[in-house]
Structure formats: C-alpha cells, structure tokens
Structure 1
C-alpha cells in the first residue's frame, strides 16, 4: 500500500481509502452488518488503514460498524475520517431532501453546521466509533444558513481539545474552501471525481496543489458503473439510490460499457480488473491524494486494495484518454 500525507496535516492516509457509505446500507438497499465488518477488517489486513464514514450513513449505523470493526486494532494504526453537518434528527438549517431510513421510516435531512450542533455531532460520533478522537473531521455539505467562520471556529475548538486531529471540507467549491482555510488550516476537500467526472481539474485541483490541500476523490468508480458489472437494463434493489442517477440511464450505460470494452485489454495485460485499473488511474492524477473505494464484502475489499499494485505508464494513460474521447465521454 502507498501512504500519502494529507495536505499540511500530520496525517498519512492509505492511497486507497475505504468508503463506508454502502456499509451503512442507507440508500444502498440495506446492509449486512457482519459482511461489512469483515470487509473492513479484510481491507485493513491488506494495508487499507483509512476509513471514511459519516453519521448520516445509515443514521449512525456506518459509524457503529466502523467502531466495531476496528476493535483490537491499535488506534494509531488506523485513520478514522468522519463528517458533520447532515442532520436527520433535527430541523435546523437548510432543508436537503426527503429520504427513508434502513427500516423504511421517512426522514427529512437538513444541512446544518451551527456551533452547538457540531459539538453534539462530534460527541455522538466519538461514542458510536468507540474512540476518543477523530483523525479527520469534515463538513459534509455546505450549510447556507451558517457562516463558514462560525462553523470552523467550532471545529478549531474541537481540534484544540484534542477531539480531532485535522479538519477537512467536503463538496466545497474553491471560494468556500478559501474561506474555511482562513479560519484554520484545511487538510483536505472531499469531492466527487472520476474518469467520467473531471470538472474539479479546472479550478479546485490547481488551488489545492498551490495551497497544499489534499483532494479525497469520492465515487471514483461512479458507484459501481466503472466496474463493468452494470449492463443495460440492470435492476437495482428497492432503496438503491443509483436507479435514479442520470449516469445510470440506458444510453449512458451503453456508452460507458463501450469505453470499458476498449480499455479492458489494457487491464488484462496488467492482470488487473477494470475497477483496479480505474482506481490506479484516479490516484495517479495530479492533486489527487486518495481515492475512496466503497466496499460491502471481503471480495470487494481485496479487489480495491489490489489497485495499488497496478503501474500505469504515460503511454497507458494516453491510451485511456484517447478511448475516453472516442467514446464521447471527454471533450
């Protein structure tokens, strides 16, 4: 495994970091707790020491699963990344969307990052994770009802108290990142980035490189689409949010699979799966510190961790880029 320094913080994260959203089941058609715990432990045994979660993932279930999975592992050998600012148990802040929990109960999700709410959320996360500190504490989404200054002054207090080691943002644009970074040093920005979605390369990545801010790429496999396992007409289980995503429309799936067919011989030549090839491509891009790879079972953990062993030459990257253009997936 490769370990990379996160911005100007003292944190080193595994280049392939485990994303635990799906482990919590919410919006993924439910969860199998035992499978999720085994998946996390298998990933750790392969060098994936960093785990990204959030309270909203399963309304606490993902954090609880992570806390149980890392029992017995020396705390300084694993890096816990979690978030704040999405409440399903209160109605303050900016209304986000309606959803249902894992039991089918309707919930309203609000984006809220006021001072008192952050302090409460941190204490709740520490309890669920069964730890006394969080390595990276990230605001999940921007909250238009609370000033960035108030939010990150509260985060700074948590850092001073030793409850968090570093602060990060998620889904922030460049201007918002600048504002947060003026209050306290921001270690990272977690944003969507994949071979199909590269808009952050225009402004955010250059800014992050210049200011030594890490980029945590989430959905690098486009929620499974880039594994090559999703074919036209695929039926998702009830409660799986992917069914309504434009990238999973019939035309998009056909186009993406055409691209994957073209690069599969390259993956085969490296004894790699398509997902391993795509994950390696992702962490090789300028400014990208780590790729978050979701897992729900041991098999997925093994495949994701194996991406680190792939080596891409410049000619390989050029070939991939050419196929993207030919498929109409990159202008």
Structure 2
C-alpha cells in the first residue's frame, strides 16, 4: 500500500481509502452489517488504513459500522474521515432531496452547515464512531444559506478543542475553497472523479495543484460502471439510486464496455482486474491524491486494496488515456 499526505498537513492516508457509503445501505439497496464490518477489517489488514464515511450514509448506520469495525485497532493506526452538513432530522438550509431511510420511511434531506448544527453533528459522529477525535472533518456539500465563514469558524473551534485534527471540503469550487481558506486551512477537496467524469480537470485540479490541496476522488469506479460487470439490460433494485443515471443506459453500457475491452490486455498483463486497473489509473492522474473505493464484502475490499500494488509506466497510463479520450457517452 502507498500512503500520501493531505495537502500541507502531516496526515497521511492510504491511496485506496475505504468508502463507506454503501456500508450504510441508504440508496444502495440495503446493507449486511456483518459483511460490511468484515470488509473494513479485511481492507485494514491489507493496508487500507483510511475510512471515509458520513452521518447521512444510512442516517448514522455507516458511522456505527465503521466504529464497530475499528474498535480493536489502535486509534492512531487508522484515519477516520467523516463529514457534516446533510441533515435528515432538521428542516433547515437547502432541501437536497426527498428520500427514504433503510426502513422505507420518507425523509427530507437538507444541506445545512450552521454553527450549532456542526457542533451537534460532530458530537453525534464521535459517539457513533466510538472515538474522541476525527482525523479529517469535511463539509459534505456547499450550503448557500449559511456563510462559509460561519461553517469554517465552527470547524476551527472543533480543531482548537482537539475533536478534529484537520479540515476538508467536498464538492467545493475554487472560489468557495478560497473563501474557506480565509478562516482555516482546508487540506483537501473531495469531489467526483472517474474515467467518465473528468470535468474537475478544467479548474479544480489546476487550482488544487497550485494551492497544494489534495483531491480525494469519489466514485472512481462510477458506481460499478467501470468494473466491466454491468451489461446492457442490467436491472437495478427499486431503491437503488443508479437506476435513473444516464451512465447506465444500455447505449452507454455498450460504449463503456467496448472501451474496457480495449484496456483489458493491460490489466491481464498485470494480472489485475479491470476495476484494479481503473483505480490505479485514477490515483495516478495529476492532482489526484487518493481514490475512494467501497466494498460490500471482504473479497471486494481485498481486490480494491490490491490496486495499489499494480505498476503502470507513463506509456501505459498514456495509452489508457488515449483510448479513453475516444469515448463519448450519450446523455
């Protein structure tokens, strides 16, 4: 496993970081708690020391699962990354979406990052995680109803109190990052990035490289699209959020799978899966510090971790990118 520092901090995290959204079940068709816990433990044993979660993932369930999975691990040997700013239990801020919890109950989710809300969320997260500090505390989405100054000053207070070690942001543009930097030192920006979603290369990547900010790439496998396992006609469950996303239209599944066939020989030469090759390509891109990868079970967790051990030359990376540049998906 390879480890990289976040921004100009002394916090090192594994290039494959365990993404625990699916572990919470919400929007992923449910979860199996025991398998999720075993997946996190297996990942840790394989060198994945960093875990990214959030309160909204299963309305607290993901954080509880993470807490249970790491309870017997020496605290300074694991890095906990969690978030704040999405409330399902408080109707304030911007309505983000109507949804259902894991029990099928209707819930409304708001983007809200007011000071008192952040303080409460932090305390709740610490309890669920079974720890007294969070390594990286990230605002989940911009909240246009609360000044960035208020949100960042609340996090700065938590850092002063020792409850948070480092601050990060998610889904921020360069202007928002600049404003946040007036009140504390956000070391990272967690944003969506995959072979088929590369728009951050225009502004966010150059900005983060210039300002020495890390990029945490989420959904690098584009929610299963880039595994090569999804074929035209694939049927999603009723509560699976992927069902309505254009990536998964039959036409696009055909195009993506044709692209994956072109790079398959490189994967086979490395004795690697397509998923592993895609993950490796992702965190070798300029400005990308780590890739977040979720796993439903131990086997998937170990497969993700092994991506860090693949060796790709610059020529091989360029060859993959050249094939990729010819791919055009339909909206």
Distance 1:129 1:327 in 2: 41
Query: Secondary structure of the residue that 2:43 maps to in structure 1?
Result: helix
Distance 1:168 1:56 in 2: 17
Distance 1:129 1:146 in 2: 27
CA RMSD after TM alignment: 1.0
The TM-score, its normalising length taken from structure 1, stands at 0.98
In the other structure, the counterpart of 1:86 is 86
Q: In the TM superposition, what is the alpha-carbon distance from 1:163 to its structure 2 partner? A: 0.2
**Contact 1:82–1:138 (CA<8 Å) still a contact in 2?**
yes
Matched, 1:173 2:173: yes
Distance 1:118 1:251 in 2: 43
Q: In the TM superposition, what is the alpha-carbon distance from 1:329 to its structure 2 partner? A: 5.7
In the other structure, the counterpart of 2:96 is 96
Q: In the TM superposition, what is the alpha-carbon distance from 1:71 to its structure 2 partner? A: 1.1
Distance 2:235 2:26 in 1: 18
Query: Secondary structure of the residue that 2:157 maps to in structure 1?
Result: helix
In the other structure, the counterpart of 2:322 is 322
Where in structure 1 are there 5+ consecutive unaligned residues?
none
Distance 1:7 1:326 in 2: 33
Q: In the TM superposition, what is the alpha-carbon distance from 1:316 to its structure 2 partner? A: 0.8
Distance 1:260 1:20 in 2: 26
1:4-51: CA deviation from partner (whole Å, max 9, x where unpaired): 000012210001000000000000000000000000000000000000
Q: In the TM superposition, what is the alpha-carbon distance from 1:238 to its structure 2 partner? A: 2.4
Distance 1:172 1:328 in 2: 26
Report 1:190-229 matches (<5 A). Answer: 190-229=190-229
In the other structure, the counterpart of 2:57 is 57
Q: In the TM superposition, what is the alpha-carbon distance from 1:134 to its structure 2 partner? A: 0.3
Q: In the TM superposition, what is the alpha-carbon distance from 1:285 to its structure 2 partner? A: 0.7
1:165-186: CA deviation from partner (whole Å, max 9, x where unpaired): 0000001111111110111011
In the other structure, the counterpart of 2:117 is 117
**Contact 1:258–1:327 (CA<8 Å) still a contact in 2?**
no
In the other structure, the counterpart of 1:9 is 9
Report 1:253-272 matches (<5 A). Answer: 253-272=253-272
In the other structure, the counterpart of 2:252 is 252
In the other structure, the counterpart of 1:235 is 235
Query: Secondary structure of the residue that 2:7 maps to in structure 1?
Result: coil
The TM-score, its normalising length taken from structure 2, stands at 0.98
**Contact 1:38–1:69 (CA<8 Å) still a contact in 2?**
yes
Q: In the TM superposition, what is the alpha-carbon distance from 1:328 to its structure 2 partner? A: 3.0
Q: In the TM superposition, what is the alpha-carbon distance from 1:325 to its structure 2 partner? A: 2.7
